[in-house]
């Protein structure tokens, strides 16, 4: 499964909605109404699903769904290099 | 004086069911064991799925009960000045079902596995926060932790803020979830206690229950302007602390007499809802104080049916007083709640003739 699908699945679990209905350009805070506590839950869910470690403070860099996918891809690359 | 503060909406969630003030008496009249828990099935349709996982049972009960109360009164938040709308909550234990689950995760899977909602789901003021978010409440609000007297204190304090002009209206009541392993252990000391269950002196086992009851309180002037139906009015209150050991409540008859007199005078209660703590000496003192003040008053034994709902207890009593079938004109009802440690609270409620 691609990282994009895993991110969308984690978001769909948090939002209680279908993964297919989440647009990649949707703004996390203003369009999906995800608050800072909810995003921590999503990050922990992603850590479990992908066996990676995400920095709790990285949510401040996140704007939309694509930026979350990019963050996960970046961490996966770093993990492979290490 | 509280007698310009009236009750215009009632909502409840109890093991027997959920609904508004019109359904309360019928719901409690169904044969049931008092020591039961609220079914998840009756709450699921009332709470947004996304919110469900973030909050504890006691918050779910409160949100459902408050929604029923708002609808019962016909309150539309968009049509009210929500800076003059408050929220007053009684709660004793907080969210232990959520906490027990997360503590288990902490010990088995580590800190990272603990829900980020642990803190916000556990603390007793969570209900106040969730109600404020759900209805856009921006007025003076407060949460009270005072054992079985929590809800009665929240109602009295809400009424005082309405009576002094700080607020136009308020959601006031309480919520409690006791169906958890930890709380069942904590409350196991109450097992074996009995309470008087009838005029003939028969006794019943003291039951631990749970749920939530919320009332809409507002000034009579505000209620009349909005053409709301009035179900009852608050006539007076009294409270005092007679320091007692942690697991006992006030056994001092003089204190009980003063608190009840303060709440009731100049009226004469026709019906009394006693606290019935299950502590023999405390219950004897309460019974003696009632007989000294109003030997003719009837004493209700409904706690043998409802059990103790702790943080929701006083609000349930007020709701019962406002919905009780009674002769015309309805008699004032004096409600007693006491807290472990010695706090005594009394409130006089008058049902509005329908």
Low-confidence ranges of chain A (pLDDT < 50): none
pLDDT of residue A30: 93
From B115's Cα to the closest Cα of chain A, the distance in A is 7
Question: What six digits make up the tokens of B163?
Answer: 């009576």
User: What's the CA gap between B275 and B259, in Å, rounded?
Assistant: 13
A23 touches chain B (CB under 8 A): no
| Domains of chain A and any CATH numbers | 3-77 (1.10.1200.10)
- Cβ–Cβ of B112/A44 closer than 8 Å? yes
B117 touches chain A (CB under 8 A): yes
- Cβ–Cβ of B120/A38 closer than 8 Å? no
User: What's the CA gap between B14 and B35, in Å, rounded?
Assistant: 11
Q: Hey, which residues 42-101 in chain B have their CB within 8 Å of chain A?
A: 49-50, 54
- The secondary structure of B66-84 as a DSSP string is HHHHHHHHT--GGGS-GGG
pLDDT of residue A10: 96
User: What's the CA gap between B161 and B164, in Å, rounded?
Assistant: 5
Q: Choose, out of A10, A16, A36, A47, the residue to mutate when testing the contact with B (most B CBs < 10 Å).
A: A16
B116 touches chain A (CB under 8 A): yes
Cβ atoms of B353 and B330 closer than 8 Å = yes
Q: In the A/B pair of chains, how many CB contacts fall below 8 A?
A: 18
Give the CA-trace dihedral at A32, A35, A41, A47, to 10 degrees.
70
Residue A37 with chain B: CB contacts under 8 Å: 54, 116-117, 120
Nearest chain B Cα to A13, which residue? Answer: B50
pLDDT of residue B328: 60
- The secondary structure of B128-139 as a DSSP string is HHHHHHHHT--S
The answer, as to whether pTM is greater than 0.90, is yes
B30 touches chain A (CB under 8 A): no
pLDDT of residue B35: 58
Nearest chain B Cα to A16, which residue? Answer: B50
Nearest chain B Cα to A38, which residue? Answer: B116
Low-confidence ranges of chain B (pLDDT < 70): 1, 3, 33-35, 326-329
B123 touches chain A (CB under 8 A): no
Nearest chain A Cα to B119, which residue? Answer: A37
- Cβ–Cβ of A40/B116 closer than 8 Å? yes
User: What's the CA gap between A3 and A76, in Å, rounded?
Assistant: 9
| Interface confidence: ipTM more than 0.90 | no
Residues whose CB is less than 8 angstroms from the CB of residue A71 and which lie 6 or more positions away in sequence, other chains included: A54, A58, A61, A62
Residue B50 with chain A: CB contacts under 8 Å: 14-16
Residue B120 with chain A: CB contacts under 8 Å: 37
**CB-CB neighbours of B52 under 10 Å:** 15
A15 touches chain B (CB under 8 A): yes
- Cβ–Cβ of B120/A37 closer than 8 Å? yes
From B94's Cα to the closest Cα of chain A, the distance in A is 20
């Amino acid at each position: 499964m691609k990282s994009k699908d895993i991110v969308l699945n984690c978001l769909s679990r948090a939002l209680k909605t279908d993964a297919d209905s989440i647009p990649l350009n949707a703004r996390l805070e203003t369009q999906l109404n995800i608050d800072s506590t909810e995003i921590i839950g999503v990050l922990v869910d992603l850590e479990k699903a992908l066996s990676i470690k995400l920095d709790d403070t990285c949510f401040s860099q996140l704007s939309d769904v694509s930026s979350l996918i990019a963050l996960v891809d970046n961490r996966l690359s770093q993990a492979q290099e290490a | 004086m509280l007698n310009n503060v009236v009750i215009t909406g009632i909502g409840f969630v109890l093991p027997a069911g959920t609904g508004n003030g019109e359904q309360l008496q019928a719901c409690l009249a169904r044969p049931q064991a008092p020591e039961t828990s609220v079914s998840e099935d009756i709450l699921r349709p009332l709470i947004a799925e996304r919110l469900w996982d973030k909050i504890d049972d006691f918050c779910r009960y409160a949100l459902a009960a408050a929604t029923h109360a708002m609808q019962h009164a016909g309150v539309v938040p968009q049509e009210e000045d929500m800076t003059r709308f408050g929220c007053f909550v009684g709660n004793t234990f907080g969210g232990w079902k959520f906490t027990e689950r997360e503590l288990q995760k902490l010990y088995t899977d580590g800190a990272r596995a603990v829900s980020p909602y642990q803190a916000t789901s556990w603390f007793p003021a969570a209900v106040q926060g969730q109600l404020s978010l759900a209805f856009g409440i921006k007025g003076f609000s407060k949460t009270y932790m005072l054992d079985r007297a929590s809800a009665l204190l929240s109602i009295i304090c809400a009424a005082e803020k309405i009576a002094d002009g700080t607020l136009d209206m308020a959601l006031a009541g309480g919520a409690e979830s006791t169906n958890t392993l930890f709380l069942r252990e904590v409350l196991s000391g109450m097992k074996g206690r009995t309470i008087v269950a009838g005029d003939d002196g028969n006794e019943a086992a003291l039951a631990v229950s749970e749920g939530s009851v919320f009332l809409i309180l507002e000034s009579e002037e505000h209620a009349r302007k909005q053409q709301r139906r009035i179900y009852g009015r608050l006539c007076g209150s009294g409270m005092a602390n007679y320091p007692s050991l942690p697991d006992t409540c006030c056994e001092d008859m003089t204190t009980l007499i003063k608190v009840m007199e303060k709440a009731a005078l100049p009226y004469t209660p026709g019906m009394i809802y006693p606290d019935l703590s299950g502590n023999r000496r405390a219950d004897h003192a309460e019974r003696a104080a009632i007989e000294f003040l109003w030997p003719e008053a009837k004493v209700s034994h409904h706690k043998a049916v409802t059990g103790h709902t702790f943080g929701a207890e006083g609000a349930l009593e007020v709701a019962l007083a406002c919905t009780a079938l009674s002769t015309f004109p309805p008699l004032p009802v004096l409600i007693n709640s006491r807290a472990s440690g010695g706090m005594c609270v009394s409130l006089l409620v008058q049902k509005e003739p329908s």
